[in-house]
Structure 1
Amino acid sequence: MMKWMHLAGFLLGFAACNPSGPKSNESETTSMNPKTFSYLALGDSYTIGEGVPEEDRYPNQLVFRLNRETDAQWKEAEIIAKTGWTVDELDEGINQAAPTGEPYDLVTLLIGVNNQYRGRSVDEYRVDFEQMLRRAIRFAGNLPDHVVVLSIPDWAVTPFASKRGTDQNKVKQEIDAYNDTKKAICNKFGVKFIDITEDYREIGNLPEMLAPDDLHPSGKVYERWTEKLFEHVKNKY
């Protein structure tokens, strides 16, 4: 018994005198418990994925791909978005949701189509969007390079718009003006701007690219947006 007590005392004394012991354990603990990254997606119907299953939403597709194809581990996307929201309504929606994960490692923002749809001016949008982008940057720990903004898709190419007799050229010009404004503000703050509009104009009226309402995108469209986001995000974390 005394022999084992002496041996235990020796081992404890050795560990206390050996500074490499605790550091090694800390390193092992860190490697065994890697950081889990967080993602906040802000937007409207395009972000909530109106008319498609939850797994087809682009924020959820992005997290799935990041976890499958990179070494980083990501939490489930936190989505604050609702069909029909304008920028000011998103702002109020954020207040009500009161997200608590700040700072988020990634924040995406896709908002503005309903401002255009309701006939609001570009000047009004400029003010509202800049305020929203500032808020998104704060959610990302004041790191602009952790925020990604997506352009507004052109809904006028859809069968829904055609059935309503929508002036496609008018909507195109307005969407372009909104997106030019978004891009300029993103450049001002050093935020990544990803264009999804031009590709959507090519495919947005195809049956396989449509949700059942003939207005919103299908999961296949969101997959294309996910690819653009994935290529930007995959090597940053």
Structure 2
Amino acid sequence: MLGPRYYFGVYHWRRRFRSLALAAVAIAVAAVVGSRTRSRSRRAAASLVASVAAVRGFRTLRQLVGPTPWSLERAKYDALASRLPLDRADRVLDVGCGTGRSLVGIAPHVPDGTDVVGLDVFDDRVILGNGPRLARRNADRAGIDVEPVAGDAATLPLRDSSVDVATACRVLHDLPASSAEDALSELRRVCTADATVGVLELPLVPDDVAGDPDPEAYWVDRVLEAGFEIETLERLELAGRTEPYIVIVARPNTGR
């Protein structure tokens, strides 16, 4: 865990603040009802409601700071970055950079003078504080100069064949399935012929995917369909995590 040198914002803050507010209201109402009734059964019921609300509120509070706004879990980014030719890249693109957590993660592997682009929709409805200013500030503190670009991963505002290394860290599964496929196709478009793409994913698929596909096989198929050939496929086991990350390193399939 890092100290307050970085601040990455609070995830899913609206939903969790709403849950905390509801828990507080339930506790307050239960307290009022319990104090105004002489019925033991009603007091017991009020006490039970307050206890359940308190437990749920505590769990939500833990989720609100999980991960904490300054933590990084650097090992997963090191694992991905070490498999990418960042030392030979003139231009690096990080798709879904958000407040800069992934940019900070790959920063130690990016040489000085590399042109780094951090792309995100910068929607603060999901992450409190999400915006280009915070992404730039965190990246600067990590030692890299980043150009934040507001845009959609499914329609990258970049020229064809303009990127040497691209990363997508824990972002594709949050998109609708069609948008995730478009995002990978867009990465293929903006990558040079000898570029490298690194995908770091949770063992999840988009919510609108039918059935219950194996996440590893699902993302492999999507990467191949987008016009890449896979160079590396690994399951990354990290201490403290019950499920592994999926690491995919791919290059454009120039034979297609």
Mark yes or no: TM-score above 0.5. Answer: no
Q: Which one has more relative contact order, counting CA pairs under 8 Å at least 6 apart?
A: 1
State the TM-score, normalized to the length of structure 2: 0.36
State the TM-score, normalized to the length of structure 1: 0.39
